[in-house]
């Protein structure tokens, strides 16, 4: 499983054209989790990147971390997603990864 996260400081090497890198990696994605945080919800980039992926037929799933995805604006709020605020939310995430990417991670987490 290859994971690309544009803001992690590693997925886009220094000196790279970051717009092209994001576009290339989105073009090769089979699924996109949009991790929504209190900081990212105000960014237009999550809507831009999610819209790009959606237009390419990539499944886009909003995931709230520290914020309720019900606060998302259209059109991202039209996509079914979930919050990770409990063990059930984490189990939802693992279940989607297992199903969509044919993995077999244990999905019986409890939130501590």
Which pLDDT value is given to residue 67? 94
Task: Give residues with Cβ within 8 angstroms of 67, minimum separation 6.
Answer: 36, 37, 38, 41, 83
Would you list the domain boundaries of the chain? 19-101
92 vs 11: CA distance, rounded Å: 25
Report which of residues 54 and 2 the model is more confident about.
54
pLDDT above 80: residue 110:
no
Report which of residues 112 and 14 the model is more confident about.
14
Tell me how crowded residue 36 is: count the other CB atoms within 10 A of its CB. 24
Q: What are the tens digits of pLDDT across the range 17-40?
A: 888 888 888 888 889 999 999 999
Pull the structure tokens for residue 52. Answer: 């790009």
Domain 19-101 has CATH 3.30.60: no
Mean model confidence pLDDT for the chain: 86
% of the chain surpassing 90 pLDDT = 46
Pull the structure tokens for residue 35. Answer: 């991790």
């Amino acid at each position: 499983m290859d994971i690309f996260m544009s803001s992690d400081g590693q997925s886009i090497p220094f000196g790279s054209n970051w717009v092209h890198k994001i576009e290339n990696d989105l073009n090769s994605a089979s699924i996109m989790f949009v991790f929504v945080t209190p900081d990212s919800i105000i960014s237009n980039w999550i809507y831009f990147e999610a819209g790009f992926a959606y237009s390419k037929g990539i499944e886009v799933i909003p995931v709230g971390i520290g914020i309720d995805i019900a606060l998302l604006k259209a059109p991202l709020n039209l996509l079914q997603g979930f919050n990770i605020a409990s063990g059930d939310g984490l189990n939802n995430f693992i279940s989607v990864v297992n199903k969509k990417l044919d993995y077999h991670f244990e999905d019986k987490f409890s939130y501590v």
